[in-house]
Amino acid sequence: MFFLFLWSLPVLGMLIGGICFVFLLMSFLGGWEKKKIFIHAIIAILTVGLMWSLFTFGLGVMLPTGIIYNPFAL
């Protein structure tokens, strides 16, 4: 599953790809019940979003950008 995540980075980028990876991994390991799916989505969006923001804006690290969403394109 991690290699699929790495393979998708040029298209999805770190933000969207990371959210999808964390959500799918949590759902795969924790179950696919309706309530758990919602919790997994919230956790994935918050954790990856906060880490992405910290590294991108706080530390100035250039993380992989994707074709779908590039926050630095004008």
- pLDDT for 71: 75
The model's pTM: 0.90
| Ordered DSSP codes for 4-65 | HHHHHHHHHHHHHHHHHHHHHHHHHHH---HHHHHHHHHHHHHHHHHHHHIIIIIS---PPP
| pLDDT tens digit sequence for 3-52 | 999 999 999 999 999 999 999 999 999 999 999 999 999 999 999 999 99
Contact 18, 27 (CB under 8 A): no
Q: Backbone dihedral region of 69: left (phi > 0), alpha (psi from -120 to 50 degrees) or beta?
A: beta
- pLDDT for 69: 83
- pLDDT for 74: 60
* Per-domain boundaries in the chain: 2-58
